Structure 1
């Protein structure tokens, strides 16, 4: 269900690693048992595992990497095993699960999970799906949830260009199109999903997890390649939304692709833990 190519996932992994909020990860870890059983939905090749597992402080971890993309799931075991072999302190069990999240949650075995992880997933789903997912989590006993890197609609180039807004407005429309779950939440995801989880009995915290791409400062060919890929992706999405503006969008992409720039893309991480706040009885009424 990730909907991303392996090449793009490779480019974005260092951006994700730099952006994710370590404080929420620490609080997620505190809510887990000693030998946690973790579910990663939309797992791709295991990027979230590679970032989060060392931060959990648990030498024994069992992960299920769930995705609907056969190619990514086929690549995940080797990618995870190669990484895990360098973590001498970690006893890691990892399995893959091919599943269509749009079809329901039964295959995920939510009652058998001590924690649920997602990364760059919740902006793809619909509001109705988010409500059903929150209800399924509640029925499973409210395991803690760490959902990272949901876009929040903030995109800014420096230096700016007069056509940035023109293109990005069309990208925003494309972001809200159906990705297999109904109309996608896009930039609404952090707050819509937070509200759904709160209604399901969770206490929710949001934190910024913005990408900042500055090839000149990073001195990294990977950052420059990621920036070019993002510009190309924005142009493709904008053109699909507004084919009549294809020439204008192509001119913007050509200028952006040849002009040094810094790009900031807004994201939010979300932590949800069972709300243990006691319900206070109503004060007695007297007549």
Structure 2
């Protein structure tokens, strides 16, 4: 499983989206996760959670989740970008929800080397905005290694392929369709799942006996998020035009008037995402 290309995920973009990400994440998945960790996880995991954050970026998942889970925690941050890893390591919260200590280490490199053996002793695998950048084979492999290790997975903020803009524009649907096709593109020989990723992951984990819960986690961007809206919208239209160059003559004035509306506080955007929690099959015998 190779980590998807994140060349467009500059630290500035990740910082810009963090507040919207935090507001969007599905907190209702935390209760079943806490229950699983407190009852079904091995005793060692209940003594100290070991959490592996795949494609961690600047560490926004750790900053959101560490303070919402009780008990001592050790986070292992994975990313192929050493600068992002260093940034994330410095900014993880020092304490958990119950003031127990949180420690952190980093692993620099490709996720292709993630195996069930590597996950031994891991209490939880997490990832944000990564699932939709994977291929069908990579999703199958992720489900496989998590199942083999008996490890739950919390996979947040996967694109759902739906965007709502207010007020609407006649070109919205065509841009959205082209963007979704771009998300499903073949990239350096890899066919990305894009908006199909959550369905593929749900099926993959369920085939391995996991209980899978999915919840919506939409960005709701109003005037207070104008900078994020403008940056996202520019990238959204750009990707659509990359996929369909014939859209460019119409997309240029479309982008201009939409950005003007954004700057005036007259554009609202809902970008739909989905959070997924996969809980491994309950062991046949008592937990030890």
TM-score range, shorter chain: 0.7 to 0.9
Q: How many residues align?
A: 267
Q: TM-score, normalised by structure 1?
A: 0.87
What are the Cα deviations for residues 97-132 of structure 1, in whole angstroms up to 9, with x where unaligned?
11212x342398112211111111101001111112
- Give the direction of change, closer, same or farther, for the CA distance of 1:180–1:138 in structure 2 (3 Å limit): farther
Tell me which moved more, 243-252 or 180-189: 180-189
Residue in 1 aligned with 2:253? 251
- Structure 1 stretches lacking a partner, 5+ long: 279-287
Structure 1 segment 21-40 matched on structure 2, within 5 A: 21-32=26-37, 33-40=46-53
The answer to whether residue 132 in structure 2 is matched with residue 120 in structure 1 is no
Stretches of structure 2 that go unaligned for 5 or more consecutive residues are 38-45
Which residue does the alignment assign to 2:166?
158
Asked whether the 8 Å contact 1:170–1:241 carries over to 2, the reply is yes
User: How big is the shift at 1:134?
Assistant: 1.1
Matches within 5 A, 1:132-281: 132-140=141-149, 142-178=150-186, 182-215=190-223, 220=224, 223-259=225-261, 260-276=266-282
* Length-normalised TM-score, structure 2: 0.87
Please give the secondary structure, in 1, of the residue aligned with 2:158.
Answer: strand
Distance 1:169 1:181, change over 3 A: same
Q: Runs of 4+ in structure 1 displaced over 6 angstroms?
A: 85-88
Instruction: Provide the alpha-carbon RMSD of the alignment.
Output: 2.1
Distance 2:113 2:11 in 1: 25
Alpha carbons of 1:117 and 1:245: their partners in 2 closer, same or farther (altered >3 Å)?
Answer: same
Partner SS, residue 76 of structure 1 = helix
Distance 1:209 1:86, change over 3 A: closer
Report what 1:46 is aligned to. 59
Query: Compared with structure 1, are the counterparts of its residues 104 and 277 closer, same or farther at alpha carbon in structure 2 (3 Å cutoff)?
Result: closer
SS in 2 for 1:40: strand
Deviation of residue 69 (structure 1)?
A: 1.6
